[in-house]
A and B are shown apart, each in its own frame.
Chain A
Amino acid sequence: MGDLYLIRKNLFRKKTRAVLMMVAIFVAFLLFGVLGSFERAFNSGETGASATRLVVNNKINFTQPMPIAYLNRVRAVEGVRVASHWNWFGGYFQEPRNFVISFAVEPDTYLDVVGTDYAFVPEEKAAFLADRGSIAVGDAVAKKFGWQVGDRIPLTSNIFTNRSTGNRTWDFTIAAIFTPARDLVGTDVVFFHYEYFNETRSFGRDFIGSIVLETTDPALNDKVADAIDALFANSPFETKTVTEAAFNKAFAEQLGNITLIVTLVVGAAFVTILMIVGNTMVMAIRERTREIGVLKTLGFPNGRIFRMVLGESLLLSFIGGGLGLAAAYGACIFLAPLVGGFAPGLTLALPVVLAGVGFMVLLGFVTGVIPAMNALRLNIVTALGRD
């Protein structure tokens, strides 16, 4: 028997109470682990983005289109290695809740621009480039819906109408399933031929959403961006050219300030457990006043009693928090394919784990220090006199 044995016995003497506190801590750390990891992955666009990639958008905002004629003029700007374009399709599969991040692109130039992001089987890539009615599907999407190469699948747009059928659905043949070629790249996305889409859509013809290009050297990025925006200044469709990282960030912020939301949710959870656990620990130690008096009578020094009480709330915090982070690890694995491109590479990252351990220590100290001080200051005669 050592002090840890006593700490453990004390903590679990009222099992229901200990378990309830642990569940509260568990939930807070589960939230922290999952949301913290999600926030990291969500904001990872910055790190996942290519350094030489620029995105040209309508200056008003990136949902506004611009004429396809701009593409060739951008290609002529010095320092541009290759330029392509993408168009938001707003698609879903069969039901609106089966949302699919889908773009109409110019396939050969587009795959050149994003070539370092995705890995293709060469034959599949060739088949995708050759068949204008085909679609290339990220493996995350394929896995989600159980799609295979050769399948014929319908995608319905919540924006555009198909002129040839009169409804909003387009049919595609899956020519390729691609995988991520580097870390932090999400494959929760599909691409199909702009040409095929442009011919059959009922409005917005010959307009494109964004131009994406690669410069010959990251050092030229600013110069190229300025040159492009100067080219279209004072036209009906002025442009704003930014790095892919900046664009991803702006896009993410469009969806809401995830960092703030995560901070608020996790903060609220922590404040709550701080109150619950702190209060419960104070009460638990007060109930033990007499026993602490006995320990002191036996000769246990004040410092050791202080450490034992503090140790109890630290142990509580570490059990609840440890289980919470372990569950968060599992939850991240489970959620990764579901959140796909929104939070590429979702996993319980080491910095989140380290911050979590830091919070466990902090929680243990904050909830333990008051009861520990009370125990330390307890007068033996008063404690023994109490029934």
Chain B
Amino acid sequence: MSNAPLIRIFKASKRFTKGKETITIFENLNLSIPQGDFVAIMGPSGSGKTTLLNLCGGIDRPTSGEVHVAGARIDSLPEGALSKWRAANVGFIFQFYNLMPMLTAAKNVELPLLLTKLGGAERRKRVETALKLVNLADRLNHLPREMSGGQMQRVAIARAMVSDPTLLLCDEPTGDLDRTTADEILKTLQLLNRELGKTIVMVTHDPEAAKYARRTLHLDKGVFTERDVAAA
């Protein structure tokens, strides 16, 4: 695990204005996550965990402040450049999988590759590799509705991994799964971090899940506190 920060958030604030009211989610927040880290982010509902993850992934922008990820200052990138940047650098994993219901597992995983110049054969090869990585090589032609939650989440992980991004952002990836299935998914994430060096930021409500991470950050009332999970 190298020490160069992959994510550096500097004095970021996020506010929502509704009519005359302004809600401040966080103000002047700083965060630094080195390359190769696996961070769990915990905190009460509404504390801004998802918002923070969205900032890191370039699908939302701070009201003020800077967001540097993978060598780019993404808070000020124009829309088109930001799309390209996302395709090249980040993989997203959501609580409810967010697979395309009309596409098979293989086609779902292939989606991000449509943004590359790879040919059909090469794409198929990568899809198979990604699905093998999550132990779903035998489910290539299954539709999401023909799979269990755990299987769908593994397809989602394969989709996030297929274009080989440096950063994986997971928003409650096991929130919809039972303990055993959740542990399998978390082991897979741990493997991606340890064996393939992927930097992972995972939002979770589950202290058991957080144990799979290298460290846990608590976000509450707009401030981070770092605690050793084992000590907590």
Tell me whether A296 and B83 are in contact in the complex, defined as CB-CB below 8 angstroms, given that A380-B59, A381-B54 are known contacts.
yes
Tell me whether A298 and B107 are in contact in the complex, defined as CB-CB below 8 angstroms, given that A380-B60, A381-B59 are known contacts.
no
Tell me whether A298 and B60 are in contact in the complex, defined as CB-CB below 8 angstroms, given that A13-B101, A13-B102 are known contacts.
no
A291 located at the interface, meaning its Cβ lies under 8 Å from any Cβ of chain B in the complex? yes
Please indicate the chain B residues that have their CB under 8 angstroms from the CB of A298 in the complex: 86-87, 92, 111-112, 115, 159
A351 located at the interface, meaning its Cβ lies under 8 Å from any Cβ of chain B in the complex? no
A302 located at the interface, meaning its Cβ lies under 8 Å from any Cβ of chain B in the complex? yes
Instruction: Indicate if the CB atoms of A294 and B102 lie closer than 8 Å.
Output: no
Instruction: Indicate if the CB atoms of A297 and B59 lie closer than 8 Å.
Output: yes
Instruction: Indicate if the CB atoms of B98 and A294 lie closer than 8 Å.
Output: yes
Tell me whether A299 and B112 are in contact in the complex, defined as CB-CB below 8 angstroms, given that A380-B59, A381-B60, A384-B94 are known contacts.
yes
Please indicate the chain A residues that have their CB under 8 angstroms from the CB of B111 in the complex: 295, 298
Instruction: Indicate if the CB atoms of A297 and B92 lie closer than 8 Å.
Output: yes
Please indicate the chain A residues that have their CB under 8 angstroms from the CB of B87 in the complex: 298-299
CB distance from B125 to the nearest CB of A (A): 14
Q: Which residue of A lies closest to B79 (CB)?
A: A302
Q: In whole angstroms, how far apart are the Cα atoms of A1 and B80 in the complex? A: 23
Q: Which residue of A lies closest to B91 (CB)?
A: A298
Q: Which residue of B lies closest to A299 (CB)?
A: B87
By secondary structure, the A interface counts as helix
Q: In whole angstroms, how far apart are the Cα atoms of A297 and B169 in the complex? A: 11
CB distance from A13 to the nearest CB of B (A): 4
Instruction: Indicate if the CB atoms of A3 and B114 lie closer than 8 Å.
Output: yes
Instruction: Indicate if the CB atoms of A9 and B102 lie closer than 8 Å.
Output: yes
Instruction: Indicate if the CB atoms of A301 and B94 lie closer than 8 Å.
Output: no
Q: Which residue of B lies closest to A8 (CB)?
A: B102
Report the count of interface residues on A (CB-CB < 8 A). Answer: 24
Q: Which residue of B lies closest to A381 (CB)?
A: B60
CB distance from A218 to the nearest CB of B (A): 65
Q: In whole angstroms, how far apart are the Cα atoms of A5 and B159 in the complex? A: 18
Please indicate the chain B residues that have their CB under 8 angstroms from the CB of A2 in the complex: 114
Please indicate the chain B residues that have their CB under 8 angstroms from the CB of A290 in the complex: 98
Q: Which residue of A lies closest to B113 (CB)?
A: A1
Q: How large is the interface on B (under 10, 10 to 19, 20 to 34, 35 or more residues)?
A: 20 to 34
Q: In whole angstroms, how far apart are the Cα atoms of A384 and B57 in the complex? A: 13
Q: In whole angstroms, how far apart are the Cα atoms of A380 and B83 in the complex? A: 11
Please indicate the chain B residues that have their CB under 8 angstroms from the CB of A294 in the complex: 98, 100
Say which residue of A1, A297, A302 sits within 8 Å of B57 (CB atoms): A297
Instruction: Indicate if the CB atoms of B112 and A1 lie closer than 8 Å.
Output: no
Q: In whole angstroms, how far apart are the Cα atoms of A5 and B120 in the complex? A: 13
CB distance from B140 to the nearest CB of A (A): 13
A10 located at the interface, meaning its Cβ lies under 8 Å from any Cβ of chain B in the complex? yes
Instruction: Indicate if the CB atoms of B114 and A301 lie closer than 8 Å.
Output: no
Tell me whether A301 and B80 are in contact in the complex, defined as CB-CB below 8 angstroms, given that A1-B114, A381-B59, A384-B94 are known contacts.
yes
Say which residue of B59, B92, B107, B159 sits within 8 Å of A1 (CB atoms): B107
Q: In whole angstroms, how far apart are the Cα atoms of A327 and B87 in the complex? A: 45
Please indicate the chain B residues that have their CB under 8 angstroms from the CB of A1 in the complex: 107, 110, 114, 123
Instruction: Indicate if the CB atoms of B83 and A299 lie closer than 8 Å.
Output: yes
* Binary contact track B43-86/A, C-beta < 8 Å → 1, others 0: 00000000000100101100000000000000000011001111
Tell me whether A301 and B83 are in contact in the complex, defined as CB-CB below 8 angstroms, given that A2-B114, A381-B60 are known contacts.
yes
Q: Which residue of A lies closest to B160 (CB)?
A: A298
B229 located at the interface, meaning its Cβ lies under 8 Å from any Cβ of chain A in the complex? no
CB distance from A293 to the nearest CB of B (A): 8
A300 located at the interface, meaning its Cβ lies under 8 Å from any Cβ of chain B in the complex? yes
Please indicate the chain B residues that have their CB under 8 angstroms from the CB of A291 in the complex: 98, 100-101
Q: In whole angstroms, how far apart are the Cα atoms of A71 and B162 in the complex? A: 91
B103 located at the interface, meaning its Cβ lies under 8 Å from any Cβ of chain A in the complex? yes
Q: In whole angstroms, how far apart are the Cα atoms of A223 and B54 in the complex? A: 87
Instruction: Indicate if the CB atoms of A300 and B102 lie closer than 8 Å.
Output: no
Please indicate the chain A residues that have their CB under 8 angstroms from the CB of B123 in the complex: 1
Please indicate the chain A residues that have their CB under 8 angstroms from the CB of B107 in the complex: 1, 5
Q: In whole angstroms, how far apart are the Cα atoms of A295 and B87 in the complex? A: 10
CB distance from A79 to the nearest CB of B (A): 75
Please indicate the chain B residues that have their CB under 8 angstroms from the CB of A5 in the complex: 107
* Binary contact track A283-317/B, C-beta < 8 Å → 1, others 0: 00000001100111111111000000000000000
Instruction: Indicate if the CB atoms of A299 and B84 lie closer than 8 Å.
Output: yes
Q: In whole angstroms, how far apart are the Cα atoms of A14 and B59 in the complex? A: 30
Q: Which residue of B lies closest to A303 (CB)?
A: B80
Q: In whole angstroms, how far apart are the Cα atoms of A387 and B98 in the complex? A: 11
CB distance from B71 to the nearest CB of A (A): 17
Q: Which residue of A lies closest to B156 (CB)?
A: A294
Instruction: Indicate if the CB atoms of A299 and B86 lie closer than 8 Å.
Output: yes
Q: In whole angstroms, how far apart are the Cα atoms of A218 and B83 in the complex? A: 71
CB distance from A260 to the nearest CB of B (A): 45
Q: In whole angstroms, how far apart are the Cα atoms of A290 and B99 in the complex? A: 10
Q: Which residue of A lies closest to B165 (CB)?
A: A299
What are some 20 contacts across the A-B interface (CB < 8 A)?
A1-B110, A1-B114, A1-B123, A3-B114, A6-B103, A9-B102, A9-B103, A13-B101, A291-B98, A297-B86, A297-B92, A298-B86, A298-B111, A298-B115, A299-B87, A302-B79, A380-B59, A380-B60, A381-B59, A387-B96
* 7 interchain residue pairs of minimum CB distance: A299-B87, A380-B59, A299-B86, A13-B102, A9-B102, A294-B98, A301-B83
List 16 other contacts, CB 8 Å, given A1-B123, A291-B98, A380-B54: A1-B114, A3-B114, A9-B100, A9-B102, A291-B101, A294-B98, A296-B83, A297-B59, A297-B92, A299-B84, A299-B87, A300-B83, A301-B83, A301-B84, A380-B60, A387-B96
